Chains A and B, each alone.
Chain A
């Protein structure tokens, strides 16, 4: 475990080192633990799973939303995968608003309901689209707003960390995946995802 952690850390550090000299300090701080075990990031799939899939995504990124049912299906079928969806809002204010709202909902036990509601939306969103998406799924914007305000430090902290990690990985955009000790920029189809999980599992148990 220790050696793999070191490996990932040094890979990340190397990548970020050459790419973003200015983010050197940041990259050196990034560890596997921060990427896979952020205490504020909700975990889907099997929390005890032996492989972790981390996806950096945006609620307005069409390919993230299109690929989401596939990601869910693969994780469910496998049964032994932890899935962490990390918000990396790249489409401006509405994306940040959506991310904050869903993370606020998570604090009142409605993470999956809120997440799935927004993943079902189409393309570009307005603040109103986000709100109606959430209320149509039976959620109360008043409760969500209260929760976001109550946990704003925690939520902002998580979003800041996600953003810093995406930069440290030099991801080109969303979606981007970290699976085991490999990174995958761009959408993965079903086979790609299954293969990536298998490979992560193989390197984990040599």
Chain B
């Protein structure tokens, strides 16, 4: 059947090009047969666990003894008994054992499905690529192994270019990472000035990161901790409490890094699971209710009740330490370039101490602005007085807002908007009813403006719920969108093809290569705070959509991780979301284009253009 088809095509080819006789006239041999015509295998059972395969071989064709192989479906080899073949010795050929006319092999061993590979030639004419047949050992049925598409065809024994040089030389997967991908910030700083520079550098990175959304939850926690001190608050006390909190946070950071490197697991995923998020959000709600005066808890005492009963001051410090440690769960998982660098460094060199020291320094850096604020705040705030109760209530609202913000990826947009609306209206009403000192005109004006502002915003949000808005900062967005639907297309998360394994990645990169396109792999997750910022304010920018126009977009969604996703991340040497990796048209990552953590319109555009303009 296949041969007839092949012949028909062959004839149509010849007639099309008007070369009807060229083939037969010029060849000393008949045109080669199709592989399945030249070699016809059949299977019979010799014993329950012994199966014989016999090939009928067309005259003038031969099979190689060396290339006969059998394996089970999962790749473990199955022994084949074969007889000695005819020794073919030829000046141009070397010495090989081959079979003419017929060949036999006996399968010794057992598997439900046996994959049998063989290879042969037309004597003097042509050599066939290896062919693999699947044998059902129960029914003795032989079938073609479905040929995988090119470039991912290794499983069927087809040749591909990848990975072979790798077995001889350094790792060479189907794509190439940038030469600088293994040069992390840790390497650079260590090379530049040793351990002191490394520590200083990471403290510096930490300070810069202190003002990103990643670290945002730390502020209400520390502010509440300080505010609760009430009349006991002094600059010194603010310094002690906040430093304890920060050092403990940094220590947790270092330990997390070690654990991550040790276990090879992506801790992020565990820490940022929906359950963990919900529990922490619940904790914030409890704190908020306490602040509203529903019941009385001392914040640090939540964890260190026994300690505080005996030594009140010491108890607060221990509480601060406990809070700091647990806060690392909140902010630790935010991947940033320095964090990724430190984790990769640990994974690559196994040098735990250097990596952990870098992470500790990073944590300290993140906390330094907090320490400054707490210390200065302790001095600046008037101590004691009725205002303290009001501040507590305001912090209660901040806690509720934090809780809502944390669970926002878990809630449908409508419900979320409704929650924001309720919060805004309630906060507004609180200000409206606030009894301020009548002598201070400014305080009255401020309270009323705040009331008006929040109630109006709450009302707009309620309208937004009705309109189906998504963004609490733009509740009337649907109206605007309806008015201008023909605006230039912008890039959205939906434009990214989701890939879930290294095979997916290889296939997508090959597709991009055949379209002569560069590729962008975006590692993201629903729980990734920075990713949401990127998707909301970076991707929709017109510069970005222009730069990504000829780029194949893929996303690795780590929202619920599985081993294949973990493996994929490892193969890309990526730590977690948000990470953007750019490949040029030749599947090569370009030096200096990888983006981790805080990604801006400018950095994304620059990397995309760099990858797209690489022409060898």
Contact = CB atoms under 8 A, between A and B. Distances in A.
Given A11-B13, A18-B9, A163 B161 contact: yes
A100 B160 contact: no
A149 B5 contact: no
Interface stretch (A46-54, A73-81, A110-118, A182-190): A182-190
Given A123-B95, A160-B510, A192 B26 contact: yes
A175 interface: yes
B161 A19 contact: no
Interface in A40-88: 40, 58, 61-66, 88
A99 to B, nearest CB: 8
Main DSSP-derived SS at the A contact region: helix
A7 interface: yes
Interface residues of B, number: 69
Interface stretch (B103-111, B125-133, B200-208, B387-395): B125-133
Interface in A81-103: 88-93, 95-97, 99-100
Contact of B172 (A10, A26, A149, A174): A149
Contacts of A93: 164, 167
Contacts of A181: 17
A66 B90 CA distance: 10
A133 to B, nearest CB: 13
A19 B6 contact: yes
B18 A186 contact: no
A186 B125 contact: yes
Interface stretch (B27-35, B48-56, B518-526, B527-535): B27-35
A184 B23 contact: yes
Nearest to B9: A15
A187 B174 CA distance: 32
Contacts of A15: 9, 12-13
Given A172-B34, A183-B13, A186-B122, A203 B18 contact: yes
B169 A172 contact: no
Interface string A141-165: 0000100110011111111100110
A140 interface: no
A5 interface: no
Contacts of A10: 16
B96 interface: yes
Contact of B165 (A63, A100, A158): A100
A90 to B, nearest CB: 4
With most chain A CB atoms within 10 A of its CB, the pick from B9, B126, B616 is B126
Contacts of A192: 26-28
Contact of A62 (B34, B92, B161): B92
B20 to A, nearest CB: 11
Contacts of A18: 5, 8-9
Contact of B27 (A89, A148, A183, A188): A188
Interface string B359-395: 0000000000000000000000000000000000000
Interface string A178-206: 00011111111101110110010001000
A135 interface: no
B9 A14 contact: yes
B351 interface: no
Contact of A123 (B17, B27, B96, B588): B96
Interface in A1-57: 7, 10-11, 14-15, 18-19, 22-23, 26, 29, 40
A124 to B, nearest CB: 6
A172 B32 CA distance: 7
B92 A66 contact: yes
Interface string B556-585: 000000000000000000000000000010
Interface in B67-114: 67, 90-96
B96 A124 contact: yes
B32 A92 contact: no
Interface of A: 7, 10-11, 14-15, 18-19, 22-23, 26, 29, 40, 58, 61-66, 88-93, 95-97, 99-100, 122-124, 127, 145, 148-149, 152-160, 163-164, 167, 170, 172-176, 181-189, 191-193, 195-196, 199, 203
Given A183-B13, A186-B31, 9 more contacts: A14-B16, A62-B94, A66-B93, A90-B127, A152-B176, A160-B150, A160-B510, A172-B128, A186-B125
22 contacts: A11-B17, A58-B127, A61-B121, A61-B127, A62-B94, A92-B159, A93-B164, A93-B167, A95-B159, A96-B159, A96-B164, A156-B161, A156-B172, A157-B586, A173-B129, A174-B126, A185-B31, A186-B27, A187-B126, A188-B26, A195-B22, A195-B26
